Amino acid sequence: MLGPLLLTVAALVAATVVVVSWLDRSDRATPPPVPGFEVPELAPDPGSAVPTAAAVAPGAERTATRPTTAAVRDWAATLSDRTQIPLPVLVAYAEAELAVRDTAPDCNLSWSTLAGVGRVESHHGRYNGSDIGDDGRLTPPIIGIPLDGSPGVRAIPDTDGGVLDGDVTWDRAVGSMQFLPTTWDRWGTRANGDGQDPDPQNVNDAALAAARYLCASGGDLSTANGWWQAVLTYNRSVDYGQNVFSGADAYAKAANAS
């Protein structure tokens, strides 16, 4: 439901407002179902509940750099089949949770919340036929429409010289978690610690950036107020928050059923 020009205008408008709290949209489209995995639509009031919780592989530890531990990969391999989340993307969500346990231990972010966000933003990096490589990079990249002041779209002139979005006139949302260049500049982090620049088209970097952003925005995401504050800062739309809630809850329940 993101950036490419073949989308309908309504979908395009909804697709470009991620991670920018001042773009207050309420018309975010519900993502179509992923084949083979059902996500029941839930509609809790903001601040009234948190999604079901689920742990990453019990006893899993975050290593200093990738690759992840065998325990996480084994856990993800089983759950990937059940949830239809691509294996490298599910590993990225899990590693991002483990990473912020160290850097923001009071956040209590769950991988399933990241999965809820990733489902709405890009179908876990698969929007419009993108593939996820073994290194986590998307091919082709996911790039949103220009934020050029068209009806329903805020005008945001280019801020990065087109480095991330290829547009030297207007900014666009980029990557599997749909960051704008200015927001990526603040929150982007290289997940594997190899010293290279963080890449929003790499699902590992994108998941970690989203985790950092959510933790900074919501405080304690194990509380209803904290969870909703974080998600509604990511996108100020109740419908959006309920879509993320529905996905997060369904993925956690699938994990807990294993």
Complete DSSP assignment for 11-72: HHHHHT-TT-TTS--S-PPPPPPPTT-------PPTTS--PPP--SSTT----SSSSPPHHH
Q: Bigger pLDDT: 35 or 79? A: 79
For 250, which DSSP code? H
Q: How far apart are CA 91 and CA 105, in angstroms?
A: 20
The two beta strands, 138-139 and 131-132, are: antiparallel
176 found inside a domain: yes
Q: How many CB atoms lie within 10 A of CB 46?
A: 16
Position 67 scores a pLDDT of 52
In whole angstroms, what is the distance from residue 206 CA to residue 175 CA?
A: 7
pLDDT at 35: 59
> Which stretches does DSSP call E strand in 45-186?
131-132, 138-139
Is the Cβ–Cβ distance between 111 and 96 less than 8 Å?
yes
Mean pLDDT estimate for the chain? 85
- Structural domain includes residue 247: yes
| Weakest mean pLDDT among 47-51, 57-61, 87-91, 197-201 | 57-61
Query: Would 40 be classed as within a structural domain?
Result: no
Indicate which CATH number applies to the domain containing 105.
1.10.530
Dihedral angle at the C-alpha atoms of 38, 44, 48, 53, nearest 10 degrees? 0
CB 53 within 8 Å of CB 110: yes
Q: Is residue 43 part of a domain?
A: no
Place 66 in a pLDDT band, splitting at 50, 70 and 90: low
Q: CB atoms < 10 A from the CB of 63, how many?
A: 13
Q: In this predicted structure, what is the pLDDT of residue 69?
A: 74
Residue range 117-170, pLDDT digits in tens: 999 999 999 998 999 998 999 999 999 999 999 998 889 999 999 999 999 999
pLDDT at residue 71 in the model: 81
Residue 199 structure tokens:
């890449």
Residue 224: predicted pLDDT: 97
In a domain, 27, yes or no: no
What is the pLDDT, as a whole number, of residue 4?
A: 30
> Does 1 fall in a domain?
no
Range of the domain at 131: 69-256
pLDDT in tens, 170-211: 999 999 999 999 999 999 999 988 999 999 999 999 999 999
**What pLDDT score was predicted for residue 56?**
83
Q: Please, are residues 43 and 242 in contact by the beta-carbon 8 Å criterion?
A: yes
- pLDDT (tens digit per residue) in 207-230: 999 999 999 998 899 999 999 999
Please give the share of the chain, as a percent, with pLDDT higher than 70: 81
CA 69/CA 99 separation, integer angstroms: 13
Which residue type, as a one-letter code, is found at position 106?
D
pLDDT at residue 32, rounded to an integer = 52
Q: Is residue 149 part of a domain?
A: yes
> Domain total for the chain?
1
> 62: pLDDT confidence band, cut at 50, 70 and 90?
low
pLDDT at 23: 34
**77 within some domain:** yes
